[in-house]
Amino acid sequence: MSSNVENVKVEISVVLGSSVIPMHQLLRMGRGAVIELDSHQDDPVTILANDKPVAKGEIHIQGDKIAVTVVDLLKGYT
């Protein structure tokens, strides 16, 4: 029985940034709370495949859709 790589599904996630906050602040958050991230609007984002970093990308907003353009593959994925 042969396997076909084209049929393998991969979960893609994009990390916009991160933040460290005290637990008590997290527990007080409600709808509309804002979490400040350690990144800026034009910073590259990290693209994950099955929770593993594989590339860097740029965010693009097109109407009500958000897209990511791959700008650089990380070492081991080129």
- The pLDDT, as a whole number, for residue 41 is 85
Q: Is 55:47 a contact under the CB 8 Å cutoff?
A: yes
- For every one of its 78 residues, what pLDDT tens digit does the chain have, with 9 covering 90 and above? 556 888 999 999 999 999 999 999 999 999 999 999 999 988 999 999 999 999 999 999 889 999 999 999 998 765
Closest listed residue to residue 47, CA positions, set 11, 71, 12, 17: 12
Structural domain spans, the chain: 8-73
Q: Is 38:19 a contact under the CB 8 Å cutoff?
A: yes
CATH 2.30.330.10 fits 8-73, yes or no: yes
Structure token digits, residue 13: 């996630």
For the entire predicted model, the pTM comes to 0.77
- The pLDDT, as a whole number, for residue 75 is 85
- The pLDDT, as a whole number, for residue 2 is 58
